[in-house]
């Protein structure tokens, strides 16, 4: 493809993207394909000779779109919000064009410096303590990672390194291999699965602690666990607190658990992947109380801050815990300005890194802080509107408090009928939702996901749910609620897991 063709197809692609997003309501929100659908339609080998891009373009609608789930449809209510805006897409386009591999400042100074600036902008927007900022008094700062999972894993490794160093300093005769099997981390029973995965990858124990009736991790629970584990010869070293859990958007009590972590030299990481974006609005900041005790904090702007996947931001108070822990510095990566600015390769797992701050910069300048606040508040308002519709109907109940853009609800008649309701909704196909299970209560989650969602869309989704509920309740007769079911959140699944194979979360 030459520059002329690139201009031609670039314009055509931009038009295609704008049409796709503006008319997304007209598409069926979920695909109807079965595994292997694409293999049946595409050749087994790459083309021997170049093809005309016009032909490639035609195949987008023919082959790709039938297998796409339209996450940015206002009728997609699964998981959590997912960012998607024009300035962010333009940022990715430019990043792809520049195509630098920004592992060090010298590798492309703008790539590093814009990241320093924009992560500071964002940190200030969220009212993070200044110790987390590059412009703050210490050694802290923000860095863009791919995902919250990667951040949790990185923090766990840094925490592991920190505690091992401390113990070795205090007991010069002790060997690392005798320390590692004794390390134990903590998270709430509501923590994201990525926390357990980090522990598996980091080869340490992770104890799930029971949350209270508001699904929040409390100080006494943590204190008891630490005492118990210390008596068993274990060494508590890491805690992943959640602000906005995946299941119900619950918040751990940082004011209680933070001081305990500090006293016990436990690294507190805060996973605020979804809910953290709401802290741009002062009225939500009370959920962050106690953040000053955290070593690290992470938010996914690619979830709820208008940025396309992938862009997750992690802030650390003392970056030397990363830089010193994972520093391998071959001569070919060194440069004369080392130490004056971050060399972000030390702050992450891969060596190479994209110029992702461009999309953050483009979005922040296009929306401004007020635009981001307006978007967050609109999503929260739409969730409240949906909650009211659900409560006014009388046949449903809210299963956990609606605090942001997520509503958790179910049929009052219980688990089985709620599960049938979901099957009916998915069969209907006009909207998409996923279930969750918490303490044997099976419920549905309606997340406000798309930027363009309106009150009318929410009323439409409610009408679909209502019609499906009518059908399920009509055919249920004198149905009796029986055993609890176990259903996990799984992106690949359109239908809930079959009931009856009972497994509880306790």
Ligand X SMILES: Cc1ncc(COP(=O)(O)O)c(C=O)c1O
Which residues in this chain contact ligand X in the complex, by CB under 6 A? 79-80, 147-149, 192, 194, 242, 244-246, 271, 273-274, 300, 312
| Token pair listed for 105 | 């400042």
Q: Which residues contact 334 (CB under 8 A, 6 or more apart)?
A: none
How far apart are CB 447 and ligand X at their closest, in Å? Answer: 10
How far apart are CB 278 and ligand X at their closest, in Å? Answer: 13
Q: 194 or 453: whose CB is closer to ligand X?
A: 194
- For residue 441, the surrounding DSSP H or E stretch is strand 441-447
Q: 77 or 416: whose CB is closer to ligand X?
A: 77
- Cα radius of gyration rounded to whole Å, the chain: 24
* C-alpha triplet 94, 13, 27: angle, nearest 5°: 120
How far apart are CB 147 and ligand X at their closest, in Å? Answer: 3
What are the φ/ψ torsions at residue 364 (nearest 5 degrees)? -60, -40
Pairs from 90-93 (Cβ < 8 Å, separation ≥ 24): 90/359, 90/362, 91/356, 91/358, 91/359, 91/360, 91/361, 91/362, 91/363, 92/308, 92/358, 92/359
How far apart are CB 93 and ligand X at their closest, in Å? Answer: 22
CB atoms within 10 A of CB 425: 22
How far apart are CB 273 and ligand X at their closest, in Å? Answer: 4
Strands 296-299 and 267-271: parallel
Q: 104 or 242: whose CB is closer to ligand X?
A: 242
Q: 250 or 421: whose CB is closer to ligand X?
A: 250
Q: 104 or 192: whose CB is closer to ligand X?
A: 192
How far apart are CB 146 and ligand X at their closest, in Å? Answer: 7
Q: 155 or 469: whose CB is closer to ligand X?
A: 155
How far apart are CB 426 and ligand X at their closest, in Å? Answer: 20
Q: Which residues contact 253 (CB under 8 A, 6 or more apart)?
A: 216, 217, 218, 219, 290
Helix 415-428 × helix 455-476 angle, to 10°: 120
CA distance readout (Å), 333 to 100, 111, 351, 470: 15, 16, 10, 65
CA distance readout (Å), 180 to 152, 166, 202, 355: 18, 13, 10, 36
Q: 79 or 486: whose CB is closer to ligand X?
A: 79
What are the φ/ψ torsions at residue 444 (nearest 5 degrees)? -105, 145
How far apart are CB 399 and ligand X at their closest, in Å? Answer: 17
């Amino acid at each position: 493809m030459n520059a002329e063709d690139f201009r031609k197809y670039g314009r055509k692609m931009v038009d295609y993207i704008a049409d796709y997003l503006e008319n997304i309501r007209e598409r069926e929100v979920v695909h109807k394909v079965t595994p292997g659908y694409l293999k049946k339609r595409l050749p087994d080998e790459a083309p021997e000779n170049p093809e005309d891009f016009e032909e490639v373009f035609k195949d987008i609608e023919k082959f790709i779109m039938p297998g796409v789930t339209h996450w940015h449809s206002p009728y997609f209510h699964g998981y959590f919000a997912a960012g998607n805006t024009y300035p962010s897409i333009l940022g990715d386009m430019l990043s792809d064009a520049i195509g630098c591999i920004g592992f060090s400042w010298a590798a492309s100074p703008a790539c590093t410096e814009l990241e320093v600036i924009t992560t500071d902008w964002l940190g200030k927007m969220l009212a993070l303590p200044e110790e987390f900022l590059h412009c703050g008094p210490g050694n802290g700062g923000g860095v863009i990672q791919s995902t919250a999972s990667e951040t949790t894993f990185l923090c766990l490794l840094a925490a592991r390194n920190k505690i091992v160093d401390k113990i070795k300093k205090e007991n010069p005769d002790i060997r690392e291999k005798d320390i590692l099997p004794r390390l134990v981390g903590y998270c709430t029973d509501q923590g994201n699965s990525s926390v357990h995965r980090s522990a598996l990858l980091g080869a340490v124990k992770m104890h799930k602690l029971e949350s209270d009736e508001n699904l929040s991790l409390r100080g006494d629970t943590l204190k008891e666990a630490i005492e118990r584990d210390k008596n068993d010869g274990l060494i508590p070293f890491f805690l992943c607190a959640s602000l906005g859990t995946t299941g119900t958007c619950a918040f751990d009590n940082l004011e209680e658990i933070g001081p305990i972590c500090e006293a016990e030299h436990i690294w507190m990481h805060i996973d605020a992947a979804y809910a953290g974006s709401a802290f741009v609005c002062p009225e939500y900041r009370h959920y962050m109380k106690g953040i000053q005790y955290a070593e690290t904090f992470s938010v996914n702007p690619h979830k709820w801050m208008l940025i396309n996947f992938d862009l997750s931001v992690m802030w650390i108070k003392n970056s030397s815990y990363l830089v010193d822990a994972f520093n391998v510095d071959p001569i070919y990566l060194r440069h004369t300005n080392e130490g004056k600015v971050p060399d972000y390769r030390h702050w992450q797992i891969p060596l190479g890194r994209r110029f992702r701050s461009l999309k953050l910069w483009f979005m922040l300048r296009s929306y401004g802080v007020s635009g981001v606040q307006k978007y967050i508040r609109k999503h929260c308002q739409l969730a409240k509107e949906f909650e009211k519709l659900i409560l006014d109907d009388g046949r449903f109940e809210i299963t956990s408090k609606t605090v942001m853009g997520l509503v958790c609800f179910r049929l009052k008649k219980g688990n089985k009928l709620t599960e049938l309701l979901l099957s009916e909704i998915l069969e209907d196909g006009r909207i998409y939702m996923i279930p969750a299970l918490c303490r044997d209560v099976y419920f549905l989650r309606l997340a406000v996901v798309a930027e363009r969602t309106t009150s009318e869309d929410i009323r439409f989704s409610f009408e679909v749910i209502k019609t499906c509920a009518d059908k399920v309740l009509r055919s249920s007769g004198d149905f009796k609620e029986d055993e609890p079911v176990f259903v996990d959140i799984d992106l690949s699944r359109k239908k809930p897991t079959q009931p009856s194979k009972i497994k509880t979360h306790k």
